[in-house]
Chain A
Amino acid sequence: MRKIIMSVIVFAVFPAGVMAADSFTIDPLHTFPNFTISHLGFSTMHGRFGKTSGKMSFDEAKGTGSVEVTIDAASVNTGFVKRDDHLRSPDFLNAAEFPEITFKSTKAKIGNDASGVVEGNLTIAGVTKPVTLKVTRMHCGINPMDPKKEQYRCGFDAETSIKRSDFGVKFALPAIGDDMNIALEVEAVRD
């Protein structure tokens, strides 16, 4: 009897759409935030963060959901150790003081063409600013590499552009570019 009452309460409180959203855990082996930035105006430097974690929810029928990603600031990698140490220092990411870069979505909408937008708040070096990610591609389905053919995962590619000075990272401006292009490759496994 108690179970029936609880079920009624749950269905009354949560609309069917919310109940239909699946929850996912970010797959750190296939989730990497990449970035590019101008180096003294001569070339475009590429880098990425190697450690991420987080959660995601997605309602495939409605194309809505949410995502929270935590990035280990110290995992920055540009292929040159000395430069990576500099990027971790107080000049840029200040990774010892602010070890996490986070993104928390506030609104997400994926259209029928598998593209869409995710709005949310990005926090870098203790400063939080709203950003909009443009999702260029999204796909969900059974992982073909799973021997049991049971693992369901969703993945998406997204991109955005920020000004690092908005986050208080102003060292060596304007020699080292203010504009950072960010490209995210995200995969998550259904819980």
Chain B
Amino acid sequence: MQDLLTNPAVQSGIIPFIAALLVGLLGKRLGWYWAGLALLVGFVATVYVTVGFQFQPWTSTRKIIALGFAATVFGGLLDIYPWSRRWLPAVLLIVAAATVWWLIWPVLQRREGLDAWLLGVGSLLYGGWCAAAMESLRSRPVHAVAAVVALGFGTGAVTLLGASALLGQLGLALGAAAVALGLLVTFMRNTEIGSLAMLPAGVLLGLIGVSGHVYAKVPWYSLALLALVPVCARVPLSPQWPRWLQALSALLLVGAPAGIAAWLVWRVAGGVPL
């Protein structure tokens, strides 16, 4: 059993998938947006079997995990209270950018000149964009879950190949959890996921991508390609199509930039570091 739990494929594939499926099924019965909690629970299950929940000293990975929890609370509040969403994308962009600043500050403070500006502005834009763009997909569950699958597996793959297996596992865990949630959304009518799912997914995957670039060796252009995932998820699909065909089409659309991003990193960095 111990061997099974220490297998990276089980840790970041099977465990988050099963955890997310169980929570998704339970959440669907409870109603509201509870099914969306499946994404965070899948992620948390992987955190539990890999790095645990120790938060001192603050490291980039621990900051990511803590910010994932905070984003879930914030996402839940957005679903509970009928605040005006007019300025929400701008607010999310700014808040997410602030979290990115906190994440990369240890490195940013040692950089100088143009190098520091490029790293800072690029990272803030990517983190902010992922949070705001992914959250904006909340009302279209099929497209939203497809985007999390692609961004999760894409981010996981590029960070895994870019020399951080741990960050890779965390990204892959979100992808695996999104597959479970995608099954519910596809085959169980009226499964809503809300900001409760999409905000933490966007924040976590944005931060993992930034961390992979700053603390491992993920090239910037692979993140630029991953940033296209939420854009591709907005391509309209015919509502006349069966749900499974919509899900498959959405996956193909969002999978293209994620797949190319992973392929580019593989060409530069080679195989998995283990």
Contacts and interface: CB of A to CB of B under 8 A. Distances in A.
Interface stretch (B15-23, B26-34, B76-84, B210-218): B210-218
Interface in B252-274: 269-271, 273-274
Contacts of A125: 57, 59
Nearest to A86: B273
Given A85-B163, A126-B59, A171-B165, 14 more contacts: A83-B273, A85-B217, A86-B165, A89-B163, A90-B59, A90-B60, A90-B167, A90-B215, A91-B166, A94-B60, A94-B215, A96-B214, A126-B57, A172-B165
Interface in B197-231: 211, 214-217
Interface size class of A (residues with CB under 8 A): 20 to 34
Nearest to A176: B274
A170 interface: yes
A172 B50 CA distance: 8
Given A90-B211, A96-B215, A82 B273 contact: yes
Interface of B: 6, 8, 50-52, 54, 57, 59-61, 106-107, 110, 163-167, 211, 214-217, 269-271, 273-274
A97 B214 CA distance: 10
A175 B52 contact: no
Contacts, number: 70
Given A90-B215, A126-B57, A97 B51 contact: no
Interface in A69-87: 82-83, 85-86
Contacts of A174: 6
A175 B6 contact: yes
A185 B198 CA distance: 53
B59 A172 contact: no
A168 B54 contact: yes
